[in-house]
Amino acid sequence: MAKISSVCVYCGSSFGHVSRHREWAARLGRALAERGLTLVYGGGGVGLMGALAQACLAAGGTVIGVLPRFLMRKERGLRALTRLEVVDSMHARKERMFALADAFIVLPGGFGTLDETFEVLTWKQLGLHDKPIVLVDSDGYWGPLRALMDRIVEDGFAPARAHHLLRFVPTIEEALASLLEAPEPAIAPSSPGRL
């Protein structure tokens, strides 16, 4: 695996009802800046996304946002970013974020966060990339997803090795250590029909 210099973070465009999620987003933003890692994210200034980006910038970090034109007003695109790329569609946003990132960290979020996560997870299973994917699960937020993955494997819709496609960790610090210190196991592409 190549050296990691940029990390794409998927997270909510709202704060949700749990205040510590906001704290995690800000902590991750600062930690990325302190380690000299470029933050790639969805470009918005609202919710966990905004807290993440603003904390990274405040700590002197480099932040690249990718935002579809139609969401500029709704997600309040941050003009103060190191670079804001405005694209034409959600598909273009996801493709560009993927291209800019060496690794992925997932914080709590909603359907959009799941959509982004499952896309890079599926691409990894298909052998289209070998970039690490880490989910921060310090209060059990992603526990139901882990249980669903277990069920998918148990019922034969994915091979057991699918568990190695991503990692669940309890803290921001362990997420970054996981990306920077531990090599990912190589995963061969899955056979058709077992996504």
CB 75 within 8 Å of CB 44: yes
pLDDT, tens digit (0-9, with 9 covering 90-100), for 33-66? 999 999 999 998 889 999 999 999 999 999 999 9
d(CA 195, CA 193): 6
| pLDDT value at residue 75 | 59
Domains in the chain with CATH codes? 6-180 (3.40.50.450)
pLDDT, tens digit (0-9, with 9 covering 90-100), for 23-32? 999 999 999 9
| pLDDT value at residue 21 | 92
| pLDDT value at residue 194 | 44
pLDDT, mean over the chain: 88
| pLDDT value at residue 19 | 85
Query: Is 0.85 topped by the overall pTM?
Result: yes
pLDDT, tens digit (0-9, with 9 covering 90-100), for 143-155? 999 999 999 999 9
d(CA 84, CA 67): 7
Please count the residues of the chain: 195
pLDDT, tens digit (0-9, with 9 covering 90-100), for 158-185? 988 888 899 999 999 999 999 987 554 4
d(CA 21, CA 50): 12
Q: Residue 74 — pLDDT band, cuts 50, 70, 90? A: low
